[in-house]
Structure 1
Amino acid sequence: MKKNFAHILVIALIITFISCEEKQNGFEISAYLDGFTENSKVIVSDISSQKVLDSTKIIDGKFFANGFLDNAPSSISVIILSDEGKERNYSSIFMGNENVSISGDKATFDKGIEVKGSKYHGLKADYDKRVNPLYDERDKKLMQMFALRNDGKWNDSLQSAYWSETGLITKIDNETSKITEKFISENINSDFALSQLVTNKNDFSKEFIQNQLDNLEPRFKESRYVNVLETYLKNKPLESGASFYDFKAEDQNGQSVDFASFFNNNKDFTLLEFYSPHCSWCKKALPEIKELEKAEKEKLQIITYNVDKNKEDWLKTTKLNGITWTTLWNENGRYSDAYTKYRVAGTPTYYLFDKQGNVVEKWTGYDEKLIADIKNSIK
């Protein structure tokens, strides 16, 4: 009996070691490319967070990059800047923390690259073949539209011809949605199809989403994708006047807090900011948010929710940016309940609440009018 127990214990320790090793190992990309100039800069980034994972240069038609994906598998971008940054080529890979090789040439790089060694990218390549012709056609229509605008020929009739329910671009978008829906239905038991369903959930009916959940195999029933989709189906978008959604998160002092607790003070308003430390628009907004917090701190409190999974990045940038107000983080990042319930489509996103926790206003993105709009809403 003791021998059997010892044998089981050894096996358990081996399995634990292997699984921990898999979690700690990152990805490696070996690239073999034609047509790019020597020393062209390569930037590899996480598409959802915009975090730069590695940067390097092309030497003798090759480059090597590595890093770690916090939410593997996920989509990463490979951007190549040549001719001193005047030329830009872009492609993307859906991959995990695995070793892959890519090949291609400059002329077709933006249309897709050959990826070997990934157990995830194959479905993305299939999907790209289906939708890329539509993307190309859409780009052509947009170029036509911009040319008409530049020539001063744009008018209401052309606006309707391009963007109405039966417009040229609308038709392309509708066809793309149909292809995406069909692709997801055919491949729902895969990480890539589920990631597309999560990303495009606002484009699909709740009935379609529920049908996909019903068709999932057991191995995906407890996945991060399912948690997001079920939370999305159960919670309505917050309208003006609606009460806040509560959630739990960790603050920069290591304390677990409920969002509801921030309404138990004498502040008239609460601004909840969804933020990513790698988002360029978040960085642009930060100095103005600091000024707003300083100028209106008698009646306004700001709570910043970091949407990315990497805790070290959150704590480091909070300190480097000199943020003095409360910042929050959840280990599930963009798959957290808060991110889903508040319908965050991108960063920054802002919700303004009154003293009772009711929605006053919502802003998506940043522009030069943002701070003025917030100030006007808290008069």
Structure 2
Amino acid sequence: MKNALLLLLLGILINARSLAQQYVITAQITGFENGTKFYLNDITLDTNIDSAVIENNFLSFKGKLRSEPQSLWVTANFRQKFYYFTLLMGNEKINVKGDVRDFPFDLKIIGSETQDMHNKMIALTKEGYKKRNILVEQYQALTGDSAKLKGKAIWKVIARLDSVDLLTRMDFVRQNLNSYEALDALFYLKSDFPKDTISKFYSSLNSKFKNTTYAKRIKTFLTVGDIIKIGDVYSDFDGFDRDGKSHSLSEIKGKYVLLDFSTTFCGPCVESVSELKKISQAYPQELAIVSFSGDAGKETWLKGINRDQPQWLSLWDGNGFYGKTIIKYGITGYPTFVLIDPKGKIVSKWSGYYNGAVLKEVQDQIAKRQ
């Protein structure tokens, strides 16, 4: 009898511990039709974790996350409009309440100390976001001869809003350094703080946060040295191809190298593929293309490889946006292109894509050496 009771108690404890290691998100949200599908997305890996259908204003997600709190967003398409809200949470319980009109910033989200800090950041910045979105819509609706002048005035206001937003976030980091939210923000603001200030921030972290992945990202930034710029000699790096074989950039010798930093679901990156194929075919002897993926998830990266079928070296290191290579080359947006001459010197570096731009830059640089 005693043994049976002990086994029962042990089973209860194990089950309770298992439940404690799960995330549970419950939401009571009015305004959506029954059957509307919501997705829970891992922002870092850019993958869907779960999905749920709303019924009678209620939906829920349940499962297991990584050991540290992570950035998530919940999304839905309803009546041809995209809805979302963001979360920063671990394996804990979160409750969401609100209405369709409260998306994305005015929902009530409670149940987690980590999420509370995320809510605090949203509260500080949401009014600026709302004003910015209205101004962007006004800009997109401009027509006629006066559109250029009016558009310029609108972007001046947007620039002021962005400046205030930046200062607000920087102040939030200073005031709340020992938190996941502040450390996450600090990484994205790393170019806005002096490097010695970031070093002091890192040194002052308490033991709880200094050993987190969030803090290690900051340490990586501090240890990679100066960011690569035009005129510098390239920085070597390693990555794996689709078959798992390791390659170094330094393996390529005597050619121009066009580095293509991209991600699988980046629209402009996808648009650039056809032009990269033309370049690869036009300059097989003079130039080698190397694509380096900023995707954190291998499956996501391989989806892009299978879709695009690049005929050049495509590499991935598994570290996503936080890896040494991405940081060293100063990648803050995708696609970013870096052109290296046969002597190993960076001769061009730019972000974004529009038709013909990559080909023209390659042609111009190769022509200079002929």
Give deviations 1:140-171, integer Å, cap 9, x for gaps.
44455556x43543566983x555xxx53333
Question: Among 29, 40, 50, which residue is 1:44 paired with?
Answer: 40
**Equivalence map 1:89-238=2 (5 Å):** 89-143=83-137, 145=139, 149-150=142-143, 152-154=145-147, 159=152, 167-233=156-222, 235-238=225-228
What are structure 1's unaligned runs of at least 5 residues? 1-16
1:39, CA displacement in angstroms? 2.6
When residues 344 and 51 of structure 1 are mapped into structure 2, their CA distance, relative to the original with a 3 A threshold, is: farther
Q: Does residue 252 of the first structure (1) align with residue 251 of the second (2)?
A: no
- C-alpha contact (below 8 Å) 1:92/1:112 kept by paired residues: no
Q: Deviations over 1:22-57 (max 9, x none)?
A: 9xx875533321011233342433335543444443
CA distance in 1, matches of 2:49, 2:333: 19
Counterpart secondary structure, 1:89: strand
Q: Is 1:337 the counterpart of 2:324 in the alignment?
A: yes
Residue 22 of structure 2 corresponds to residue 29 of structure 1: no
Deviates more, 1:201-210 or 1:70-79: 70-79
User: What's the offset of the Cα at 1:194?
Assistant: 0.3
For 1:326 and 1:251, how far apart are their aligned partners in 2?
A: 7
Going from structure 1 to structure 2, the CA distance change for 1:338 and 1:144 (only over 3 Å counts) comes to: same
Are the counterparts in 1 of residues 47 and 300 from structure 2 also a CA contact under 8 Å?
A: no
Q: Which residues of structure 2 form unaligned runs of 5+?
A: 1-13
* 3-state SS of 1:243 partner: coil
Partner in structure 1 of residue 359 of structure 2: 372
1:68 is displaced (CA, Å) by 7.0
Aligned-partner Cα distance in 1 for 2:204–2:239: 32
Q: C-alpha root-mean-square deviation of aligned residues, in Å?
A: 3.2
> Which amino acid in 2 is paired with 1:288?
E
Q: Equivalent residue of 1:351, what SS?
A: strand
Other-structure match for 1:241: 231
**C-alpha separation between the residues in 2 aligned to 1:201 and 1:32?**
37
Alignment partner of 1:318: what SS? helix
Displacement, 1:347?
A: 2.0
Structure 2 match to 1:351: 338
* C-alpha distance 42-152 of structure 1, shift in aligned 2 (>3 A): farther
Q: Give the Cα separation in 1 of the matches to 2:338 and 2:66.
A: 27
Tell me what 2:264 maps to: 277
Q: Are residues 217 and 323 of structure 1, via their aligned partners in 2, closer, same or farther at CA, if it must alter by over 3 Å?
A: same
Closer, same or farther: CA 249–100 of 1 in aligned 2, 3 Å: same
Give the aligned residue type for 1:343: G
Shift of 1:290: 2.7
Distance 2:95 2:235 in 1: 44
Deviates more, 1:93-102 or 1:275-284: 93-102
Query: Would you say the 8 A contact 1:252–1:326 is kept in 2?
Result: no
93-102 vs 28-37, greater mean Cα deviation = 93-102
The total of aligned residue pairs comes to 349
Q: Distance in 2 between matches of 1:68 and 1:287?
A: 39
TM-score between both structures, scaled by the size of structure 1 = 0.79
* Cα shift at 1:338: 0.5
108-117 vs 25-34, which moves further: 25-34
The worse-fitting range, judged by mean Cα deviation, of 46-55 and 167-176 is 46-55
Q: 2:236, 2:250 within 8 Å by CA — same for their partners in 1?
A: yes
Which amino acid counterpart does residue 170 of structure 1 have in structure 2? Answer: A
Indicate the percent of aligned positions where both proteins have the same amino acid. Answer: 27
Provide the rounded CA distance (Å) in 2 between the counterparts of 1:293 and 1:169: 40
